[in-house]
Structure 1
Amino acid sequence: MRATIVGAGAIAHAHAHALAKIDGATLTGVVDVDHERAKKLAEAFGATSVGTDVGAALAAGDVDVLHVCTPPSVHLDAAVAALAAGVHVVLEKPPVLSLAEMDVLLAAEAASSAALTVIVQHRFGAGAVRLRDLIARGALGRPLVAVCDTLWFRAPAYYEVPWRGRWETEGGGTTMGHGIHQFDLLLSLLGPWSEVRAIAARQARDTETEDVSMALVTFDNGAVASVVNSTLSPRETSVVRIDTERATVELEHLYGYDDSHWTFTPAPGDDDAADLWVPDASAPESGHLGQLAPTYAAFAAGEPPPVSGAEARRTLELAAAIYRSAFTGETVRAGNIGPDDPFARSMEGSGAPWAGTPSEPPPGPAPAPTGRAR
């Protein structure tokens, strides 16, 4: 299958490296508004076609799969154009800026002979596959309590890139752009969520969007989870922990994991539970290849990809619910955000509490104490 990547920035290299290892897949084209950047990526991976216009690349008729690796604000147009041309689409996350855009995308897929998928590579690591199976067949008992932390650090200079930190171009802040990786993994393990209560704040970065959010999420199966997303945390970590009736299973990593990043702790007195977790030292690190290899196999066979657009929408709906709860103070239940809701049209919804006010500058040194302590 012939692949074209649109958007030749950093994440495009992860796609190109994965494509190089998939039998029957060939990177043949690169498209970017910066022709030189497109040319460099094409030369590095042997692609023969270089351009600056997605429409022209699709019109040439030699694209089977379009990988959309651009900033989020231009995902929708590229994906819809590809689906209209009968070209499969692989979207980086966040897939689009809003639930309304996601519904446009799903309608375009329904009218197409091609399929859509969204990159959620953490679902495909060996540990996640193993844990998903154990939970699904009830081997660990009921899931009860979970923690999902994305504690990352992005310096102010990170947000000097014009499209970052803006509702219109990035869709949201750390919830949409960073935490979505981990809470998508959590959803894949625990299943559908039922309600959310959340807060969000702009603590330190000069952005329109939040730089921290915290949510309490209840799942259909009764499990409860805390979800924390931050770009203000100097000791960076990504954590998913699930406490079940028979064990605690923890994953701590940063941007990717292998089996050594997992910890399995049986409940006291349940000695047999330890036998349920069998690590695989040879398992590769989670990454794009783990998802793209079975995705290309599905495309080639005319079958649905392992992650559907509908699944990606459920993750996006959780992000929208976090924003809606944080900005309105209300508990948001799954399905509450209908097509006429402002939070369906934009993650900003009715407006962030800090909208129109400048971010606070970092505090200076504390003043020297004066007078007598009380």
Structure 2
Amino acid sequence: MSGGRRVRVAIVGTGGIARICHMPALRAERGRAEVVAAMDVDAAQVGTFCAEQDIPAGYTDLDRMLEETRPDLVHICTPPAAHAAQVITCLRAGAWVLCEKPPCLSLAEYDTITAAEGPDGPYAAIVYQHRFGSGARRLGALVDVGALGRPLVAQCVTTWYRDQDYFDVPWRGRWDTEGGGPTLGHGVHQMDLMLALLGDWAEIRAMAGRLDRRVETEDVSMASVRFASGAMATVLNSVLSPREESYLRFDFTDASVELRHLYGYGDGDWVYTPAPHVPAETAAAWTAPGAEIPSSHLAQLSALLDCHERGERPPTSGPGGRRALEFVTGLYKSAFTARPVTRAELTPDDPFYHHLHGDVPGWAPQAAAEAVS
């Protein structure tokens, strides 16, 4: 699609995630991509970023940057409240987008993003990099052909630690700027991978609470989930856990598969345990050596550039990017209404479709400060 030339890339937002994750991935793909511009509302910051990263042009205005540099792909690395408007602006300028998670603040916003995509592109992909490691791809291929039997039980755990200083950044921990707490901003990686492997969920029963951090959103949530396949799962999201861990477990009729890591995994982090009736040679084939690709921004960027070259929709755009946000919406609705929630009810007539806290009394921003002493 790029006609054999390198894809022209722009960075919007020049904070930590752009420096730590996006720029190293882009440098690793410099044979296929070149960063031609960066934009940030802070002129000094974007100037420093461009000097450090050897980027030829810095801007403080998104429209001007798009008009003057005509990027093929824009990486959105700004706080969540800015995502929807910036992604739509880039799409309308003809650029593909790779947007940091969370994609936006509501299903309503997400659907406006999808509506701005063209039938043949440009597309907006969301950063869910754990789907793109070779370990997840291997398991996905086995699940697709039924090699492990039927999925029965799963666990999805994100127990991380963020102190109060982390949340004292003005836009964090607020519904109107971050969109949600650890359910949306932290555990979404593991939940997205769980959903990519197990498919659509049917019903969710959840709780959420503000147990220790002075925030408007929750600092912990947990849920029980039934999938359309009949499989059942438990989900835990926390930013209160001193021993940090990301953990996924899938129990099939023929095997248990576990992934234990923190912010990224390699093939060695996956453990397969065959059921007693499975022949040893069958189990050995599940983990036969292959080319290892750790989960990372680079793994996702490489896959995205492949899609760009072929003009194909990336897997974390459109419906593929919406699934995790829809799950988060259902979890919040169940937690805040104290009742089971089904996918079918998350329609534009539902207040949670428009705001993840659903304007439920007791979880409105003005009441939040009273919840934690």
What is residue 359 of structure 1 aligned with on the other side?
A: 371
What is residue 364 of structure 1 aligned with on the other side?
A: none
What is residue 23 of structure 2 aligned with on the other side?
A: 16
Task: Tell me how far 1:304 sits from its aligned partner.
Answer: 1.7
CA distance in 2, matches of 1:277, 1:284: 17
Give the stretch that moved more between structures: 46-55 or 178-187.
Answer: 46-55
Preserved CA contact (<8 Å) 2:134 2:291: no
What is residue 349 of structure 1 aligned with on the other side?
A: 358
Preserved CA contact (<8 Å) 2:37 2:56: yes
Of the candidates 285, 300, 313, which is equivalent to residue 276 of structure 1?
285
Give the stretch that moved more between structures: 351-360 or 17-26.
Answer: 351-360
Task: Tell me how far 1:334 sits from its aligned partner.
Answer: 1.2
**1:30 has 2:38 as partner:** yes
For residue 335 of structure 1, give the secondary structure of its aligned residue in structure 2.
helix
What is residue 238 of structure 1 aligned with on the other side?
A: 246
What is residue 337 of structure 1 aligned with on the other side?
A: 346
What is residue 213 of structure 2 aligned with on the other side?
A: 205
Q: How does 1:1-374 map to 2 (within 5 A)?
A: 1-13=7-19, 14-22=21-29, 23-110=31-118, 113-272=121-280, 273-278=282-287, 280=289, 283-351=292-360, 353-355=362-364, 356-357=367-368, 358-361=370-373
Give the stretch that moved more between structures: 15-24 or 115-124.
Answer: 15-24
CA distance in 1, matches of 2:167, 2:233: 30
Preserved CA contact (<8 Å) 1:124 1:291: yes
CA distance in 2, matches of 1:73, 1:50: 22
Give the stretch that moved more between structures: 275-284 or 255-264.
Answer: 275-284
Per-residue Cα deviation, 1:63-84 (whole angstroms, up to 9, x for no partner): 1111101000000111111111
Preserved CA contact (<8 Å) 1:115 1:299: no
Preserved CA contact (<8 Å) 2:203 2:341: yes
Q: Look up the equivalent residue of 1:299 and give its one-letter code.
A: H
Over 3 Å off, 4+ runs: 110-113, 279-282, 352-355
CA distance in 2, matches of 1:291, 1:334: 28
For residue 186 of structure 2, give the secondary structure of its aligned residue in structure 1.
helix
Preserved CA contact (<8 Å) 1:27 1:45: no
Task: Tell me how far 1:352 sits from its aligned partner.
Answer: 5.8
Preserved CA contact (<8 Å) 1:28 1:46: no
Q: Look up the equivalent residue of 2:354 and give its one-letter code.
A: R
Per-residue Cα deviation, 1:145-203 (whole angstroms, up to 9, x for no partner): 00000000100111010000000000001100001010000001111111111110010
- Could you say if the C-alpha distance between residues 279 and 53 of structure 1 is closer, same or farther in structure 2, counting changes exceeding 3 Å? farther
Give the stretch that moved more between structures: 275-284 or 247-256.
Answer: 275-284
Q: Percent identity among equivalent residues?
A: 46
Task: Tell me how far 1:47 sits from its aligned partner.
Answer: 1.1
Aligned-CA RMSD value: 1.6
The two structures have a TM-score, normalised by structure 1, of: 0.93
Task: Tell me how far 1:46 sits from its aligned partner.
Answer: 2.1
* Structure number with larger C-alpha Rg: 1
Q: Look up the equivalent residue of 1:340 and give its one-letter code.
A: D
Task: Tell me how far 1:20 sits from its aligned partner.
Answer: 1.2
Q: Look up the equivalent residue of 2:283 and give its one-letter code.
A: A
What is residue 370 of structure 1 aligned with on the other side?
A: none
Preserved CA contact (<8 Å) 2:36 2:69: no
What is residue 371 of structure 1 aligned with on the other side?
A: none
For residue 78 of structure 2, give the secondary structure of its aligned residue in structure 1.
coil
